[in-house]
Amino acid sequence: MKPAEAAAGRQWTSSSEARTRGLGEALGQVLRPGDVVALVGELGAGKTTFVQGVARGLGVSGYVASPTFTLVREYRGRVYLYHVDLFRIGPEDLDGIGFDELMESKAAVVVEWADRASDRLPADCLWVYIHGTGSQVRSLHVRATGSSSSQLLRLWEREAEAERAGVGG
């Protein structure tokens, strides 16, 4: 991103797993083929819980588990979803899992521990930083780094506000 370009941003709070999943579901409702979402947060911050919501928003049926040991999980929904977990691998291992091919696919890609591959992510992606663990209230700081991710963020904001105004409150 060029210094003159301002990154679009947003912040939400979540005091429950249901709210974290709900925010993820709202994002899943508007996620498009080729979108990349970069997740950053400590162990126990709720990254996988958030992705479970994203998958639900995409219409994925079945359980969505952490890909910590498998590294990449694939799900079929309205948009094909790759769920990537970089916790157990280093930058030198990215080629072995076909990381660049995933980034160039026509699927939506959500990457946990994305900061471990920040130099291999597209310049235009949506960064979601989840702060807080255990029983703490979570803070989700979101940053869009280009025009496509800025548009995705605007769509997500509308969907999240609609969800909050409805039964999901």
Who contacts 107 (Cβ-Cβ below 8 Å, separation ≥6)? 33, 34, 74, 79, 80, 81, 82
pLDDT at position 154 is: 96
Provide the residue range defining the domain that includes 55. 8-162
SS3 for 87?
coil
**Beta pairing partners, 9:** 143
Sheet holding 108-112, edge to edge: 8-14, 138-144, 126-131, 36-41, 108-112, 81-85, 72-75
- Give me the mean pLDDT over the 123-146 stretch: 94
- pLDDT tens for each residue of 53-76: 999 999 998 888 776 667 898 999
What phi, psi does 73 have (nearest 5°)?
-120, 145
42 domain residue, yes or no = yes
144 domain residue, yes or no = yes
CATH classification at residue 154: 3.40.50.300
Tell me the pTM.
0.88
72 domain residue, yes or no = yes
Distance, first Cα to last Cα, the chain: 35
37 domain residue, yes or no = yes
User: What's CA 29's distance to the chain center, in Å?
Assistant: 12
How many structural domains comprise the chain?
Answer: 1
pLDDT at position 1 is: 38
pLDDT at position 167 is: 40
Cα–Cα distances in angstroms (integers) from residue 141 to residues 16, 42, 81, 105, 138, in the given order: 16, 14, 22, 26, 10
Average pLDDT, the chain: 88
* pLDDT at 5 exceeding the cut of 80: no
